Amino acid sequence: MRHQRCRTKFFDLSTRLILIGSIISIVALSCKSDLKSHNKPLSISRDLEQIRENGKLIALTDFNSTSYFIYRGEPMGFQFELLQAYADYLQLELEILTENDLDLAFGMLNDGSADLLALNLTVNNERREHIRFTEPIGQTRQVLVQRKPVNWRVMTLDQIDASIIRNQLDLAGKTVYVQSGSSYFQRLRTLQDEIGDSIHIVQVPVETEELVTLVAKGEIDYTVCDENVALVNRTYYPLLDVETPVSFPQNYAWGVRISGSDELVESLNEWITVYKKTKSYALLYAKYFSNPRSKRIINSDLYSLTSGKVSVWDDYFKDYGDTIGWDWRLLASLVYQESRFDPEAESWAGAYGLMQLMPSTGEFFGIDITRSPENNIRAGVKYLEWLEEVFRDKVPDENERIKFILGAYNVGPGHIIDARALALKNGRDPNKWDDNVAYYLLRKSDPEVYHDPVVEHGFCRGEEPLNYVTEVLARYDHYLNFVPEK
């Protein structure tokens, strides 16, 4: 089975509450900088030229309801789509790592695990000692997140304002929880100087949106959040008030390593400057920060951050994936590619159901694929098992064999076997997919190639199975980031 490439972190709400209760430290003016724990920048030679040679941009982002998440089986998020647009501009594969702990995120950038931090990083001088900022992605300000009174719906605006914090001076003596390593901590320390009194600032290793949720649930009273993210969260929790600013407008940007990133940051700055002026950027920002559908998404059973689900068919994927030794999330990604999880999907050629099987394939295995979604999945898995037998002795490496099976599921085993024969004849490795068998599969649309004597199955439009394999495996990586194995 293919090894996981993406970093995964899961903490449920109860675990986060335990963390808050057991390892918080209340800090005041005498506390050291929150950035002192970040790994110091290293001299790593992986600039844009090396990234291009590797063919892959490795970016780190956080997972929450605006940056990066899975909904109805599809990866989504403002940071994710921005990253994908930039990777497409560079014509590079995108690999996403996820990390909600800012200390660890900075460390992963500076130890070379990631090329780029795609986070809403507030631009400030203290952080410039640790990372190099790109051109700003946008602007926002920091706001206090608090609850309105219980009976706020029957109160006037003046009555609500009188019962909550509207003047920053009233934060004196209050306890405010913030994410460890965040700019919110720095801002609150500065605000203490400005108001001439103490604010009890509690740093916790909990992502900011989780802290917002804790405010909404009454577990804590106050946190601080970027206004654009706070406004989105208010659509989920109408009792939240996010109208009290604690900062002036500030730029937020992406970050790269201080040294050895001149070409990358120049490319990023050029692209960001142009892209921010496009209609695509405006629509993307509106999609995630001004979308009335946001509440429906986060409350859905198919919002993976809270449900851990990819689709309503997950139990079938788990049961039948086990029968062939597949990670169920890989099977789910294949099914999404085939039908977008629509059990009644039907192609122009007559392929039917979740796994887009021809009726003759179901008949071969003695299964009526139209009778039920479970039957359709069962027949599809039988076909995958049959393909496994076809390639088991031909392709010894299990991770490589998955690519051959996926390609064969899309275009049939005959064309894959032809491409193996062409690779062998021309001195390439018939047991390797990328740049070997895939190279000749792509060329099978050329008459000189598909008329070669070793080719038995003729013309093939090879671009489709190549894209199929790439997209299924890329989506599988996204699922690994969010969805538990069991």
Q: Which amino acid type is present at position 17?
A: L
Length of the chain measured in residues: 486
CA distance 127 to 109: 13
3-state secondary structure of 55: coil
Tell me which DSSP letter residue 219 carries. S
CA distance 394 to 389: 9
Catalytic residue among 95, 207, 227, 338: 338
| Per-residue b or e along 34-47, where b marks 16 or more CB atoms closer than 10 Å to that residue's CB | bbeebeebeebebb
CA distance 294 to 159: 29
- 263: tokens are 């070409």
Do 263 and 49 touch, CB atoms closer than 8 A? yes
Phi, psi dihedral angles at 240 (to 5 degrees):
-80, 140
C-alpha separations of 432 from 196, 383, 395, 419 in Å: 66, 22, 8, 11
Q: How many CB atoms lie within 10 A of CB 167?
A: 9
Do 127 and 254 touch, CB atoms closer than 8 A? no
Do 208 and 220 touch, CB atoms closer than 8 A? no
Do 119 and 256 touch, CB atoms closer than 8 A? no
CA distance 176 to 195: 15
CA distance 472 to 413: 17
Phi, psi dihedral angles at 341 (to 5 degrees):
65, 20
Sheet containing 25-27: which strands, arranged edge to edge? 25-27, 200-204, 175-179, 223-226, 142-147, 240-245
Tokens 């900062």 found at = 247
CA distance 178 to 122: 14
- 55: tokens are 């063919």
338 assigned to active site: yes
CA distance 208 to 228: 13
Sign of CA dihedral 275, 278, 280, 284: positive
Do 354 and 335 touch, CB atoms closer than 8 A? yes
Residue 291: is it exposed, middle or buried by C-beta count within 10 angstroms (0-12/13-18/19+)? middle
Which residues belong to the active site? 338
